[in-house]
Structure 1
Amino acid sequence: MSKIIMVQGTMSNAGKSLLVAGLCRIFKQDGYRVAPFKSQNMALNSYITEEGLEMGRAQVMQAEAAGIKPSVLMNPILLKPTNDIGSQVIVNGEVIGNMKAREYFAYKKELIPDIMKAFHELEKQADIIVIEGAGSPAEINLKENDIVNMGLAQLLNAPVLLVGDIDRGGVFAQLLGTLMLLEKEEKGRVKGLIINKFRGDKTILDPGITMLEDRGHVPVVGVVPYINISLEEEDSLTSRFDRREEAQIDIAVIRFPRISNFTDFFVFEQIEGVSVRYVDSVRDLHYPDMIILPGSKNTMGDLKWMRQNGLEAAVKKRQGDCIIFGICGGFQMMGSRILDPYGVEEGGEVGGMSFFSMETVLEKEKVRTQVYGTFQDTTGRLSVLNGLELEGYEIHMGRSTVNELTHTPLCSLSNRLNGEEKADGVSVEDVYGTYVHGIFDKGEIALRVVKELAARKGLSIEEGFMMDYGTFKETQYDKLADTLREYLDIDAIYHIMND
């Protein structure tokens, strides 16, 4: 039987995901087989496994930290919000349908057997399982049918570390208030408190820590500083969306209301002299070197949003002045028409942005596959990518038909699951589109894009500063683990797991 430890937070974005990743890396470094687990995740950033199954990207990041392949066993339930009151429900990597919040609230306890089966399968592969909670265990309106915080801790008999975010302020009230709202048995599961994202001199904090332990009757096992680290996030509360600085090479990503898989662009952030801004208004678009239309969980609705707030017209006005690149839902928007005969999103049809002569039909079945291939016959300024190998994954509800007489594909692809080959995407001068998530991640693809953007402005980009993106992420996991080793009482955490 695996040793287990669970990380819960006083709120969303308290830092649970990174702490789980850091613990996974520490236990791996210490010679254990380790795996992450989150019973239920709500996120629009998702990933497709080798088996063609869908899971949340946070557990993918944590699996990377643990040095193992991602598996849906690590995230048996994924909720992808489709609007403000409902989500697409994915169980064991496959869509079972859309549900309104109240409907899912009443249904979710039926998924406990799926959760337990996934966890016990994962136990066969791991010496230690690090479990992540969601939101806060003190959300008293949700406790009745809880399957992700204290409800899960009870099912698995898991000891809990409770994390508070001092950067937002009120961390003592967060931690003590959460403990006060827990039932006696639940509070007994909390074996350690962690203060996260601290800036400044810790000695100033010490009197508060003493009072916190006296009143909460739970030891503080660490005060973790705000870590300057670059790892993939999936939370819509990410601080990345707040960045406004523009560097020599400026990339603007349209921030749709239902933006998904914004991790596709993190690789560009690692290149010195490049800014990646998330833009949701015409006034903030300015004059970027590249505009990216990202994935969307509601393509038709987000296209209408762009149309209503003027961003569609502003983006089209930039054609010829910068590279325009669409991925997945953003790619679908760039065609001439989107049809929804089955009511997958909103029903009916909507005219596209007409960059491409392409029609998309939204279908009931989701395409889910990992792919690999080569840039081939790419036109315009990104012809510098021709011959480079790429890899990534597709995850979409629609199929697009392109006018092959007037349009050149962006790349040729093979399905990793069955070897099926196909052409993908569109390349028309300096306007591009693809269904492939992660298309910029492999090798020197992102660097070549940036070098081409720089060349047009008479700038040069040094090649020595950027290592392979996968190697870069490994350095970040090690940095995270080193920091946690310094500021957490790891011996106490091992003792908690073995108690």
Structure 2
Amino acid sequence: MTKAIMIQGAGSNVGKSMLVAGIARALTQRGYTVAPFKPQNMSNNAAVTSDGGEIGRAQALQARACGLKPHTDMNPVLLKPESDVGAQVVVHGKRVATMKARDYGKMKSTLMPAVLQSFQRLAANVDFIIIEGAGSPAEINLRHGDIANMGFAEAANVPVILIGDIDRGGVIAQIVGTHTVLPPQDRDRIKAFAVNKFRGDVSLFSDGAKAIVDHTGWTDLGTIPWFSEAHKLPAEDIMDIASSGTGHIKIAVPRLSRIANFDDLDPLASEPNVTIEIVEAGHPLPADATLILLPGTKSTIADLAYLRAQGWDIDIMSHVRRGGHVLGICGGYQMLGTWIDDLDGLEGIAGRHAGLGLLDVTTEMTDDKRLAEITATDTATGTTFNAYEIHIGQTNGPDCEQAWLEVEGRLEGAQSASKRIKGCYLHGLFASDAFRHGYLAQFGLTDRLDDFEYDIDKTLDALAMHMESHIDINQLIALAGDV
């Protein structure tokens, strides 16, 4: 029988995704075949899967920890926020609707059969499934029709481990409070707890852990110290991206309100000669930036308006006049053009919207969404690399005739006559050491990281060792249920 256990959090961002990745790698190293699973995720940081769909980036990292290719069954429902009140709903890797939160609340219970189908397909092919919850089961106002936490755990009949975050403070209240508010049937499904992100001497929390056991009766699975290498792994939560590095090549990145697929920054941040400066709302783009990088976004037109509201368009124009470089990826590429035509109102109000005018191209928003893993070539250097596309819209115009990339026989991207302004639809291009080094060479890259992908796997191994050292993996295996 396949075994399964679910990791839920006493709050959001307690470290569930990373714990699942670490436990999955530890079990894989023990000889189990393991798969990750998250019934419902909310993230604009998505990965293209081997079966031509999309899932949350965290599940793609977890699949990597298991030695598997990402598959849509690992995250059957993905919500991609497009506004403060609405999100794109992706089921089995494909967009099915854009809905307001209230409407999705009525719909979500109908998705349980699709979620269970994915779970059962995974279970048929592995020894162990590590399931990640979303948010917290303590949000009892969301319990009716729930597919993300206890609703799924009940439907699939899997036991739960609850994770608290001591770095935020109040971890005893987090865990004991969850025990208090849960209805008895959900409370009984939790078999153990663990405390994450401890800084300092773990033994100092022994009395705290005992207090939790005394109040809840749950098994103490362990107290997990802060994992100092976490920054080397792709982050899924937008709140986890931050400025980094002290290198002389400064890349300024405006934090757009709907920033998406921001793990494009991770390989750049890993370089010893590079500084990534995430610029927050209300702050100007730095005048000493080497490169301004406009990242992907879930809502190009809305984020273009947001960019202008911060005055960043003025900063970009000043940067260009000083001879600076600009790179736009996906939504950022669309912003660099002269026009964005959204005649069907796919991103809001129908009409023609003025872009930044730095590239002589026009983007037409279409209902078709391109999801593809691809092999591309840098036409200037002949460097070949793997990347992926995940976007709506088609971009054309005179500057596309100066395309700087080739994708499987077709030209991709656009650049200005000066070659200082570039844009493309490709995500993941900087994960290629050869491409990244070639691109940064124009800015005087010297010392460099020579194997970004190997560094991720090495960090996953370190994370697995961290899990083995600080939580009782044998007890976790014993607590897992048969499915």
Structure 2-normalised TM-score? Answer: 0.95
Look up the match of 1:443. 433
Look up the match of 2:471. 488
Instruction: Tell me if structure 2 keeps the 8 A contact 1:137–1:178.
Output: yes
Look up the match of 1:354. 357
Shift of 1:299: 0.4
Look up the match of 2:415. 427
Look up the match of 1:206. 206
Look up the match of 1:341. 343
In 1, the alpha carbon distance for the partners of 2:216 and 2:275 equals 44
Is 1:144–2:144 an aligned residue pair? yes
In 2, the alpha carbon distance for the partners of 1:430 and 1:284 equals 17
Task: Please give the per-residue CA displacement for 1:175-196, whole angstroms capped at 9, x wherever unaligned.
Answer: 1101111111111111111100
In 1, the alpha carbon distance for the partners of 2:316 and 2:351 equals 25
In 1, the alpha carbon distance for the partners of 2:340 and 2:143 equals 41
Look up the match of 1:462. 447
Is 1:46–2:46 an aligned residue pair? yes
Look up the match of 2:130. 130
Q: Give the counterpart letter for 2:462 in structure 1.
A: K
In 1, the alpha carbon distance for the partners of 2:69 and 2:97 equals 27
Shift of 1:284: 4.9
Shift of 1:52: 2.0
Look up the match of 2:369. 366
Is 1:283–2:284 an aligned residue pair? yes
In 2, the alpha carbon distance for the partners of 1:62 and 1:286 equals 39
What is the 5 A alignment of 1:407-422? 407-414=401-408, 421-422=409-410
Distance 1:155-1:476 versus aligned 2 partners, 3 A rule: same
Instruction: Tell me if structure 2 keeps the 8 A contact 1:282–1:314.
Output: no
Return the match for 2:458 from 469, 475, 487: 475
What is the 5 A alignment of 1:49-64? 49-64=49-64
Shift of 1:285: 2.8
Look up the match of 1:294. 295
In 2, the alpha carbon distance for the partners of 1:297 and 1:151 equals 29
- SS of 1:174's equivalent in the other structure is helix
Distance 1:68-1:245 versus aligned 2 partners, 3 A rule: closer
- SS of 1:227's equivalent in the other structure is coil
* RMSD between aligned residues: 1.5
Look up the match of 1:250. 250
Q: Which runs of 5+ in 2 are unaligned?
A: none
Instruction: Tell me if structure 1 keeps the 8 A contact 2:50–2:69.
Output: no
Instruction: Tell me if structure 2 keeps the 8 A contact 1:444–1:468.
Output: no
Look up the match of 2:327. 325
Q: Which runs of 5+ in 1 are unaligned?
A: 378-385, 415-420
Instruction: Tell me if structure 1 keeps the 8 A contact 2:82–2:258.
Output: yes
Identical amino acids, percent of aligned pairs:
37
What is the 5 A alignment of 1:365-404? 365-377=368-380, 386-403=381-398
- SS of 1:373's equivalent in the other structure is strand
Q: Give the counterpart letter for 1:307 in structure 2.
A: R
Look up the match of 1:313. 314
Shift of 1:244: 6.8
In 1, the alpha carbon distance for the partners of 2:202 and 2:433 equals 41
Shift of 1:407: 4.2
Task: Please give the per-residue CA displacement for 1:207-258, whole angstroms capped at 9, x wherever unaligned.
Answer: 11111111111121111111112111111221x23x3765322111121000
Instruction: Tell me if structure 1 keeps the 8 A contact 2:252–2:285.
Output: no
Instruction: Tell me if structure 2 keeps the 8 A contact 1:63–1:69.
Output: yes
In 1, the alpha carbon distance for the partners of 2:245 and 2:375 equals 34
Instruction: Tell me if structure 1 keeps the 8 A contact 2:284–2:312.
Output: no
In 2, the alpha carbon distance for the partners of 1:353 and 1:335 equals 6
Q: Give the counterpart letter for 1:447 in structure 2.
A: H
Instruction: Tell me if structure 1 keeps the 8 A contact 2:284–2:311.
Output: no
After the TM superposition, which of the residue ranges 183-192 and 68-77 deviates more from structure 2? 183-192
In 2, the alpha carbon distance for the partners of 1:498 and 1:255 equals 42
- SS of 1:200's equivalent in the other structure is coil
Structure 1-normalised TM-score? Answer: 0.92
Q: How many residues align?
A: 475
In 2, the alpha carbon distance for the partners of 1:114 and 1:498 equals 21
Is 1:15–2:18 an aligned residue pair? no
Instruction: Tell me if structure 1 keeps the 8 A contact 2:246–2:275.
Output: yes
In 2, the alpha carbon distance for the partners of 1:165 and 1:423 equals 48
Look up the match of 1:193. 193
Look up the match of 2:237. 235
Distance 1:245-1:388 versus aligned 2 partners, 3 A rule: closer
Distance 1:66-1:362 versus aligned 2 partners, 3 A rule: same
Task: Please give the per-residue CA displacement for 1:146-175, whole angstroms capped at 9, x wherever unaligned.
Answer: 111011111111111100111111111001
